[in-house]
Amino acid sequence: DVDGTIYQTLDVKERAWHAGKANDRSIGIEIANIGAYPDMSILDKWYARDANGETYLMLPDWVNESGIRTPGFVAKPARNEPVRGNIQGRDLFQYDLTNEQYESLIKLTATLCTVLPRIAPDYPRDEAGRLRTTAFTAEELDEYSGILGHYHVTTSKIDPGPAFDWERLIEGVRATMGHVAR
């Protein structure tokens, strides 16, 4: 959740129906975020600025219950400005996760990589070593054994989106696992 709370909805030994052709060999982690859009109009309905100019998640009036477990928690994106990026060939805007989400995600991912050592603490990279932002072919997916997003599995998905800080995640996971930086 936006406050860093983790909810386990399925045992990792069970098969989930979350990632199409990767369902048989993956663990799904859903991350609370409004999402990425081709323009700012949707995001402007969900985010505002406080008196100090800091961006925060502002739930619309029609949202009756936030579900956030931490009393008084204000969800602020890790980066104050929306991030623009290209996923699956589409230019998109998105606000980042909260620092609390990254902290929880790093711990969870490091634990999964430790307990299930075939999951490499890395993300999909292109030939130049940069983040890949397109889907794998079936053959590439079969050969890959690291951390990936839904958009790496299918062209119909764009999550976790352009704001997701893959470097922060992987550096945190490796540090937590005691890996030496590359």
| Strand (E) or helix (H) holding 149 | none
**Considering only CA atoms, which of 53, 88, 72 is closest in space to residue 162?**
88
Residues of the chain with pLDDT under 70: 180-182
pLDDT digits (tens, 9 = 90+) for 95-106: 999 999 999 999
Q: How far apart are CA 83 and CA 77, in angstroms?
A: 11
pLDDT digits (tens, 9 = 90+) for 125-134: 999 999 999 9
